[in-house]
Amino acid sequence: PEETLVLVKPDGVQRNLVGEIIARIERKGYTIVDLKMVTATRGMLEKHYEEHEGKPFFEPLVEFMGSGPVVAIRLGGDRVIEGFRALAGKTDPTVAAPGTIRGDLGRDWGAGVQKNLVHGSDSTLSAERELAIWFG
């Protein structure tokens, strides 16, 4: 079946929300195929976020994502790419819908939308590319 890369970002790990976030994913019915905790290198993050290179938030984003461990998950299920992004909610946690991970658990902590708890691949191409970075 389809697979996607989910990351619980450093803010989610720091706030002890790993269990809560994984519980939501499991209750939805998706399959955790592989999972690990990892502190990303700068090289991994530059690759992961290459589409955002040159944007004003790129540098702070790479710094934030390397500031502590993340939980990387290879998640499987039919239409899981679209389905996880629906579970996660809009990028900006301030306005993400209640019922979503970002909407229920996130807010603005002073750096705009940066600390939004989770990442999910946005297409089959991104998923393949990102899974290779995080899981080889």
Question: Which sign, positive or negative, has the C-alpha torsion 36, 41, 44, 45?
Answer: positive
Q: Which of 12, 117, 119, 134 is catalytic?
A: 119
Window of 10-18, 34-42, 69-77, 109-117 that interacts with ligand GTP by CB under 6 A:
109-117
Q: Quick one: tokens of 33?
A: 């195929």
The reply to whether 48 belongs to the active site is no
Annotate each residue in 115-134 with x if it binds ligand GTP (CB under 6 A) or - if it does not, as one string. Answer: -x--xx-x------------
* Choice between 2 and 122, CB closer to Mg ion: 122
DSSP, collapsed to helix, strand or coil, labels residue 96 as: coil
Determine if 82 is a binding residue for ligand GTP (CB under 6 A): no
Determine if 68 is a binding residue for ligand GTP (CB under 6 A): no
How open is the CA angle 41-101-51, to the nearest 5 degrees? 40
Residues at the interface with ligand GTP (CB under 6 A):
57, 60-61, 91, 111-114, 116, 119-120, 122
